[in-house]
Amino acid sequence: MKNKTILITGGTTGIGLATAQLLQAEGAQVIVTGRNPETLSAARAALGSSALVISSDSAALADAQAIGDVIKKHTTKLDGVFLNAGIGQFGPMEAMTPKHFDDMFGVNVRGLYFQLQSLLPVLTNPSAVVFNASVVAELGFPETSIYSATKAAVVSLGKSLAVELAPRGIRINTLSPGPIKTPIYNKLGFPADAQKGFEDHMASQSLLKRFGTSNEVAKLARFLLSDDSSYIIGENITIDGGVRHT
């Protein structure tokens, strides 16, 4: 990753931050975005002055469409982008509202799409783009209907845009994590005992009987962003500890 400049959206916590730290350790210039002032400040402390930490809200269409111009102020080119920002809100269908629908599609699909559109002028030829989807794009889990639909859309976009953008030297792939221990599980609003029960159930769905870690996903993201995967394009690679086989 030496001398490569990589942008990671949603890069202030979880998988995004772990990926930024891994790429930085391997010599990349990393740029991360986020929207929470506290996590932005923590990411600046974790990544140090050599990283660029930008406030940009993937849920805001104006921010998504402006990200390319923001990046141009700091660098003339990007070698790779990890479109990682995403949100999840879970519950039975009866409890889901139009706001839940709009919020999740706004970040997970619309934000991703228009961020990439905005970044096209600064992506080099060749360059690599990675979308973060989820194993729920392929599997049916209760109380995840809208979230699963957004991630299925991300997988579909990865396939179609890989074909469309390949002539421009932009290589797109998607990774789909299974149960990974990230801050998203702390935002579900469950009481402590229900939270543990939920996490135990999710871990039991894996052949390895545990959650994956952000660092494990970061290593896959690093591979897909690097020249090591130069002949891989248009793929959706699952990293789920065997959830699909249970």
Please identify every residue annotated as catalytic. Answer: 147
Distant-in-sequence, close-in-space partners of 128: CB < 8 Å, separation ≥ 6: 79, 80, 81, 170, 171, 172, 173, 224, 225, 226, 229
39: amino acid identity, one letter: T
DSSP-based three-state secondary structure for 243: helix
Distance between CA atoms of residues 168 and 157, nearest Å? 17
**Strands 236-239, 29-34: pairing kind:** unpaired
118: amino acid identity, one letter: S
DSSP state of 121: G
> Are the C-beta atoms of 38 and 109 separated by less than 8 Å?
no
User: Nearest Cα to 170, choosing from 179, 158, 178?
Assistant: 158
Say if residue 201 is exposed, middle or buried (CB neighbours under 10 Å; 0-12, 13-18, 19+).
Answer: exposed
Distance between CA atoms of residues 96 and 175, nearest Å? 27
Q: ω before 98 within 30° of 0 (cis)?
A: no
